[in-house]
Amino acid sequence: MNIENIIKFKNHPNIVFFDKNGKVNDQFIFILKNKFNCFNSYDDVFKNITYEKNNVYYKFDCRFNQNNIFEFLNKIVKTNIFEKGIFYLLFLNFDCLKNENQGQILSFFKYYNYKFIIFTNNLNKTTQSFKSRCIIYRVKNNLINKNDFLIDTINYIYHKIFLKSDKNLY
């Protein structure tokens, strides 16, 4: 499965990329930059939270950003930056984030319609409530496994449309 097909129409749900090798994040970011012509990005800091931003996404590395994440996300929302074109929040190494911080990020799923893209190499360290609100793509050999893609997509459609539930079959 090609990552470009996933983001082609920008109408996908929140996504978790489970990649034991940790290489799909670079591929995804490269495709975002090419697709939306956003090659000018820069690093910034907010209360010890370092992040990369441009006119399409904010990228956080969760290994280094444990504190004040909820406060920072509230700051982003109040600036209305997403109305100016930024529509992705990318979280690298999400398995390093503490469960309580995952819960804070999860609260944004309920109230805001931004695209959350999570990259993890240990799916077991991602809370079940988080996984149940995302489509999970398993990456094998630097490619998204087509069978897993279909299973996750069918699971998502079945629960969202037919059962009108956020529960996941996993």
Contact 155, 168 (CB under 8 A): yes
At residue 22, does pLDDT exceed 50?
A: yes
Using pLDDT thresholds of 50, 70 and 90, give the confidence band for residue 8: low
Mean pLDDT over the full length of the chain: 76
Rg (C-alpha) for the chain, rounded Å, is: 15
Q: Cα–Cα distance between 53 and 79 in angstroms, integer?
A: 14
Q: Which range, of 77-81, 82-86, 106-110, 153-157, averages the lowest pLDDT? A: 82-86
Asked if pLDDT for residue 7 goes beyond 50, the answer is yes
In the structure encoding, which two tokens stand for residue 86, read together? 């930024």
User: Strand pairing partners for 138?
Assistant: 18
Q: How far apart are CA 125 and CA 105, in angstroms?
A: 15
